[in-house]
Structure 1
Amino acid sequence: MPSPANDKVTGTTEKRGRGRPRKPDAMSNAERQAAWRARHGARTKSVTVTKNTPPPADAHDALVRECEQLRGEPVQARRELETVSRAKPSAQAPSDVATVLGRLPRQEAADSGERRLNLTMTGTQFFALERLVAHFGLSRRAVIERLIDWADDTFSRSLYDDEAAFNRYVDRDRNEK
């Protein structure tokens, strides 16, 4: 590294500035930015600005009427649904769980006997079973038996007109064992 220049007349030493010395033809930051814009100016795309004008008052009123009409449709549908749900439930397929679980179990056939069933179910189904047991005050066995009876009765009644399908359904258990 060269030593700082010495002034022999005054005896002072001039310190060199920090960093690399500046070239005599160096551009400033503003000049560099202007040159970059000039080089890349041809590549830029023109931007069109669209001014959004508010719709006239008549259009607003029409939108308000449409909004009120759309709000009324769910209310009307809800009323129709309530009238349908208040109607007499179908005798073939009771959908109310309380009706299904509240009815008495089937009369046992003398020759059917009892059979043991080991059952594994998911946690969601298990907790649903526990809720039904607690709510209706029945045993797990009673809840499961009544739900199975209901499903079997409903499906058997749906096959009322098709005797061949009913016979296949009833005899399927015996044929597959």
Structure 2
Amino acid sequence: MNNEKNGVSMVKNDSPFTLRLNYIPRVLLDGLDSQKSSDLQDYLYFRLSYQNKGRDMLSTLDQSAYSVILNRLSFKMNDYVKFLIEGKEKEADDFQFTPLFGATSSTDVIVAISRSKIGKSESIQLELSDIGLGVPTYHFDFKLSDLEQLEKLTSKLKITE
């Protein structure tokens, strides 16, 4: 899934920062609770990951930048993330940020967009503005056929305890 050639993961580098956007197939969100499936199928989910020199970005910031970035990741991501669908700007429907304080190798935000906003479009683009790291605005382009192919390939996976 992390191979960019598959069309479900994209990486942007602006030293020392690396930003990765991965599509998350529903089966990985369902886990053991099959009742969630009907709710999950109405949305597309992406994981936006930030790293600084291969480490969790948030844990590498100085104290003054830390509080600003933490606030933006927690409460203001709609100011920094937009979807472009057939040339029209659409807001994400939801964000989930859980700070793990250096326990992982990246700072991650889950981004959700409703399938109804996408309609019959064949592609979507996520536009990510700088949250205060000094990186440029990035565009991540996805073909819906690539995302659906991953859904098809993972649909038979079983998550067990």
Q: Which has a greater percent of helix? A: 1
- Per the shorter chain, which TM-score range? under 0.3
Larger Rg: 1
TM-score by length of 1: 0.17
Return the TM-score normalized by structure 2.
0.18
Larger RCO (CA within 8 A; separation ≥ 6): 2
Higher strand share: 2
